[in-house]
């Protein structure tokens, strides 16, 4: 951050978040509602460590969970698969949106230089699911391993492709990962 912000200001911000959200979470508890916060910049939880800090601020209340959207992790260089494993009990919703990284060549950075979506000079851009750099198979295997059975949606923010063409392609791409874990260990035959 620049200019630097004092730690007390950050601590006050997380306390303000807790003071505002705990009454909301009380009502969610009464009604059986679970909230799924999307982790991305400009939010109270925008990366790995700020997510951990936000959960600590509200006492890890079960009513406050996470919407896993790997497109925001990728350009921040956060491992989306490790995020699933580390926050396994908090993944309440899955958004499938992809990101294409273009930081090579010494010109494009992750801050995107005030360039519009879809501009090839950007260091990264959102693209249709399956056309970017998200490790989808590893991600779905991780979701299976944590026992995730919640909603999965396709989020559309690809400035370079018409959604009527791209959305069906994204859905077809994701369906290949609709498999469950093996019912038997590969080495079970050797135990006889």
Specify if 40 maps to a domain: yes
Instruction: Flag whether pLDDT at 189 surpasses 80.
Output: no
- For 171, other C-beta atoms within 10 Å of its C-beta total 13
What's the pLDDT tens digit per position in 40-58?
A: 999 999 999 999 999 999 9
Inside any domain, residue 183: no
User: 188 near 182, Cβ under 8 Å?
Assistant: no
Check pLDDT > 80 for residue 175.
Answer: yes
Q: How far is CA 72 from CA 16, 25, 106, 116, in A?
A: 25, 25, 22, 17
Predicted TM-score (pTM) of this structure? 0.91
Domain that holds residue 146: 7-178
Domain contains 187: no
Cβ partners under 8 Å of residue 130, min gap 6: 98, 136, 169, 170, 173, 174
At 106-136, the pLDDT tens digits run 898 898 889 999 998 999 999 999 999 999 9
Residue 131: both structure tokens together: 């056309």
Q: For 88-114, what is the mean pLDDT?
A: 93
User: Cα dist. 129→89, 133, 134 in Å?
Assistant: 25, 9, 8
Rounded to whole angstroms, the Cα distance separating 124 from 8 reads 33
Please indicate, yes or no, if residue 36 is contained in any of the structural domains: yes
Does a structural domain hold residue 142? yes
Residue 189 domain-assigned (yes or no): no
The answer to whether residue 192 is domain-embedded is: no
The answer as to whether 191 is a domain residue is: no
Q: How many domains does the chain have?
A: 1
CATH number of the domain residue 142 falls in: 3.20.20.150
The residues near 18 (Cβ < 8 Å, ≥ 6 apart) are: 57, 58, 59
């Amino acid at each position: 951050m620049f200019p630097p912000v004092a730690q007390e200001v950050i601590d006050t911000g997380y306390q303000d978040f807790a003071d505002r959200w705990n009454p909301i979470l009380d009502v969610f508890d009464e009604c059986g509602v679970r909230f799924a916060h999307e982790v991305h910049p400009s939010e109270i939880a925008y990366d790995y460590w700020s997510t951990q800090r936000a959960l600590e601020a509200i006492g890890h209340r079960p009513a406050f969970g996470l919407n896993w959207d790997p497109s925001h992790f990728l350009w921040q260089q956060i491992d989306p698969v490790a995020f699933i494993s580390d926050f396994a009990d908090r993944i309440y919703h899955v958004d499938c949106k992809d990101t294409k990284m273009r930081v090579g060549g010494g010109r494009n950075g992750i801050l995107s230089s005030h360039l519009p979506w879809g501009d090839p000079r950007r260091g990264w851009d959102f693209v249709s699911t399956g056309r970017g750099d998200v490790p989808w198979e590893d991600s779905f295997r991780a979701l299976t391993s944590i026992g995730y059975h919640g909603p999965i949606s396709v989020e559309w923010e690809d400035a370079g492709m018409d959604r009527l063409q791209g959305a069906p392609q994204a859905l077809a791409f994701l369906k290949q990962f609709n498999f469950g874990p093996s019912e038997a260990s590969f080495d079970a035959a050797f135990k006889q």
